[in-house]
Amino acid sequence: MALNCRVIPVLAMILIAGCTITPEPITTAERVEQAAQDREKLFVGQQPVAGPISLAEAMARAIKYNTTQRLRVMEEALAQRQVDVSRYDLLPRLGLDLQYQNRNNQNASSSRSLETQRQSLEPSYSQDRDRKSAQLELVWNVLDFGISYYTAQQQTNRQLIAQQKRRKVIHDLMQDVRDAYWKAVSAQQLGERISEVRSMAEQALEDARAVERERLQPLLQTLRYQKALLDVIQKLETLEQDLSQAKPRLAALMNLPFGEAYALVVPTPEEMTLPVVDIELPQMEALALVQRPELIEAAYEQRITALETRKAITRLLPGLEFDFGVNFNSNSFLSHQTWYETGLRITWNLLSLPGRLEGLSLAETQEQVAEAQRLAVSMAVLSQVHLSYRDFQNVVQRYERARQLLAVEQRILENVSNTEQALATSPLETIRTQSNAMLAELRRLDSYAALQAATGRLHASLGLDPLPPTVQSHSVADLSVAIEAVLADWSAGNLRTESNGLAEPDNAPKQ
d(CA 50, CA 65): 16
pLDDT at 125 over 60: yes
d(CA 197, CA 438): 9
d(CA 17, CA 6): 17
Tell me which residue of 238, 259, 237 sits closest to 248, measured CA to CA: 259
pLDDT tens per residue across span 442-480: 778 778 888 888 888 888 888 888 877 777 777 888 888
pTM for the whole structure: 0.73
pLDDT band at 419 (very low <50, low <70, confident <90, very high): low
| 92, 138 contact by CB (below 8 A) | yes
Average pLDDT over residues 268-294: 84
d(CA 408, CA 440): 9
Beta bridge partners of 320: 346
- What pLDDT is stored for residue 412 in this prediction? 79
If one compares 287 and 418, the residue with the highest pLDDT of the two is: 287
Average pLDDT over residues 370-385: 89
- Give the other-Cβ count within 10 Å of 4's Cβ: 7
d(CA 356, CA 456): 49
For the ranges 64-73, 145-154, 373-382, 444-453, which has the lowest average pLDDT? Answer: 64-73
pLDDT at 121 over 80: no
For the ranges 35-44, 148-157, 215-224, which has the lowest average pLDDT? Answer: 35-44
d(CA 236, CA 171): 34
Average pLDDT over residues 281-292: 88
Element (H, E) at 347: strand 338-347
d(CA 212, CA 226): 10
| 411, 387 contact by CB (below 8 A) | no
- What pLDDT is stored for residue 411 in this prediction? 81
pLDDT band at 387 (very low <50, low <70, confident <90, very high): very high
| 143, 320 contact by CB (below 8 A) | yes
Q: Could you tell me which residues come within 8 angstroms of residue 508 by beta carbon, excluding any fewer than 6 positions away?
A: 73, 76, 166, 502
Q: State which amino acid sits at residue 431.
A: I
- Give the other-Cβ count within 10 Å of 102's Cβ: 8
Going by their DSSP bridges, the two strands 130-141 and 319-329 should be labelled as antiparallel
pLDDT at 182 over 80: yes
Mean pLDDT of the chain: 80
If one compares 242 and 182, the residue with the highest pLDDT of the two is: 182
pLDDT band at 340 (very low <50, low <70, confident <90, very high): very high
pLDDT at 230 over 80: yes
pLDDT band at 510 (very low <50, low <70, confident <90, very high): very low
Beta bridge partners of 329: 133
Beta bridge partners of 324: 138, 342
- Phi–psi pair at 464, nearest 5 degrees: -80, 140
d(CA 213, CA 215): 5
- What pLDDT is stored for residue 42 in this prediction? 66
Distances (CA, A) of 492 to 183, 194, 250, 298, 489: 23, 34, 26, 32, 5
pLDDT at 498 over 50: no
Distances (CA, A) of 5 to 8, 10, 103: 6, 9, 18
